[in-house]
Structure 1
Amino acid sequence: MNANELETSEALSKSERRRARILQILMSGATSQIRDLAEALGVSLMTVHRDLAELEKEGLVRRLRGAVSAEKSLLFESSYNYRGRKQVEEKRRLARAAVSKLQPGNAIVCDDSTTTYHICDFIEEMTPLTVITNAVPILDRLRTMPDIDLIAAGGRYHAGYNGYFGAICERAIRSFHVDVAILSTTTIQGLSLFTPDETVVRAKQAMMEIARRKILLADATKFRFTALNYVAEITDFDLVLLTGDVPPANLEMLRKAGVTFELV
């Protein structure tokens, strides 16, 4: 990489981090003055307006008369399109590792996460399989794949998560028993998993209830943020697959808690 490419790469990294920080600030649902955002970030108004323009194109924020708010249905963790472009190679490594733990003939359940989606890239290696999911992208990807018995856990469609949720979905999930649940999480704090939306919590918990084995997929960014709603303990999983620069302190905590994990 030459000097110009390096400079461009670093600039992109800074802008991405800045936009993630803007979304964090707005996740409370409060409206913020754009001038206040510029001051909090230590950048110019012009820079903030550029960042907001990009986020607005993604449908994540809305600007009005010098103020900005997050679109409540498309917050940082609930925008499937936004999440889907982050840590793609890490997600693919996690998904490949998860598929390697399956056996032909297994019945599996998968959540709506953009990490779990990437099992579709490798799942043909382990067919025939039964796959149950509430995630529209997984349903779309697998519906024509040979030797996949695909079951949709329907319910109320949520555009931000691009999946089905609610009481109907949860009842559908609980009507099955599967060999493996493959799940991801918004964040890991200590030994606990959290996510912003309680609707997503209930679907994930239902999937965990019906599985003989549970596999969690998490890249290093999951240890950096917080979220409101408790999902489960990381010790509830039979295997935790991790990738990226997971802080050593977190790895040591997992070891002390007796968590079975692999770095992939």
Structure 2
Amino acid sequence: MSDYNNSDQEVAASKAERRRTTIIQTLMSGSSTLIRDLAESLNVSLMTIHRDLAVLEKEGLVRRLRGSVSAEKSLLFESSYNYRGRKNVEDKRRLARAALAHLEPGNAVIIDDSTTTYHLTEFLPEVTPLTVITNAAPILERLRHLPEIDLISTGGRYHPGYNGYFGANCEKAILSYHVDVAILSTTTIQGLSMYTPDEIVVRAKQAMMKVARRRILLADATKFTFSALNYVAEITDFDLVILTGDIPPAKLDLIRASKLNVEIV
């Protein structure tokens, strides 16, 4: 009975984390949302949604007022990267470690701003020398002291929500390079398509894919749970997709039927 209860608690905690991440993504537009609308869209009770909002409010991410909720303008975007970065850390490290096997000393690698690809910084010193191009501020900070990594920043306008650099200058810089490997992650995968909430992220990812000889996508099981507005690409546009976690069998069957090169770790 004890094992059963522990399992139930783990499942409930996982569902709560997915709901809270969805709430954050919903509020990142900056507009206020009715709490009852959130409850309806997530198919949960008002009591459940208020419990979720209480947790997010304690973390300084949202503000409740008269039946509605909005992002804390001064804190949400800065905190959202940190919030996402704390989730599924072991899965993200497993994906990063697996990606390392597909790099060779001397490669030029371009890496996106995701909290998944950040974990590459732990392992990249094992395959130096490398050239690393990125728009991700945490990756730049982590790698800047390593002499065997030729580190290149894309530049651009800093976006605190993604803790990275974006915009026209970033995209122009990316398109001026030709690299061996692009390593990306995504907000969500629906069918065989990648989506993300923000157009500026779309353009940066698409530019990175365009300049790479080989493309690797990293995704844990949560990427098959959420929805997002903006189309990025087909996962079949990648030479390799590395997956981890408890991926729904139907989703996995669809991917395998596409003849995509898939590695599960």
**TM-score bucket (shorter structure):** 0.7 to 0.9
Contact 1:110 1:116 in 2 (8 A): yes
Partner letter of residue 52 of structure 2?
A: D
What does residue 41 of structure 1 align with? Answer: 44
- Any idea what the Cα deviations from partners look like across 1:165-196, whole Å, max 9, x if unmatched? 00000011111110000000111111111111
- Give the corresponding residue for 2:209: 208
Count of residue correspondences: 261
Offset at residue 11 of structure 1 (A): 5.9
Match of 2:233 in 1: 232
Q: Report if the CA contact (8 A) 2:25-2:197 is conserved.
A: no
Structure 1 position 160 matched with structure 2 position 161: yes
Q: Residues 212, 80 of structure 1: CA spacing in aligned structure 2 closer, same or farther, 3 A cutoff? A: same
Deviation, 1:129, is 0.3
Structure 1 pair 35–230 and aligned structure 2 pair: CA distance change class (3 A): closer
Once the two structures are TM-superposed, the CA of residue 13 in structure 1 deviates from its matched residue by 3.8
- Could you tell me how far apart the structure 1 residues matched to 2:219 and 2:91 are? 9
Between stretches 225-234 and 28-37, larger displacement belongs to 28-37
Q: Distance in 1 between matches of 2:167 and 2:92?
A: 26
SS in 2 for 1:79: helix
Q: 1:67 to 1:241 in 2, by over 3 A?
A: same
Which residue in the other structure is 2:106 paired with? Answer: 105
Aligned to 1:86: 87
Q: CA deviation at 1:163?
A: 0.2
Structure 1 CA distance for aligned equivalents of residues 169 and 26 of structure 2: 33
In 2, Cα distance between the equivalents of 1:36 and 1:10?
24
Aligned-residue identity in percent: 71
Unaligned runs of 5+ in 1: none
CA RMSD of aligned residues (A): 2.8
1:182 corresponds to: 183
Find the aligned partners of 2:12 and 2:33 in 1 and give their Cα distance: 25
Alignment of 1:185-196 (within 5 A): 185-196=186-197
- Letter of the 1:193 partner, please give it: M
Larger CA deviation: 53-62 vs 133-142: 53-62
Rounded to whole Å, the distance in 2 between the matches of 1:36 and 1:247 is 27
Q: Is the 8 A contact 1:155 1:167 kept in 2?
A: yes
Unaligned runs of 5+ in 2: none
3-state DSSP of counterpart to 1:217: strand
Structure 2 CA distance, aligned partners of 1:126 and 1:236? 26
> In the TM superposition, what is the alpha-carbon distance from 1:223 to its structure 2 partner?
1.1
Q: What TM-score do the two structures reach when normalised by structure 2? A: 0.87
- TM-score scaled by length of structure 1: 0.88
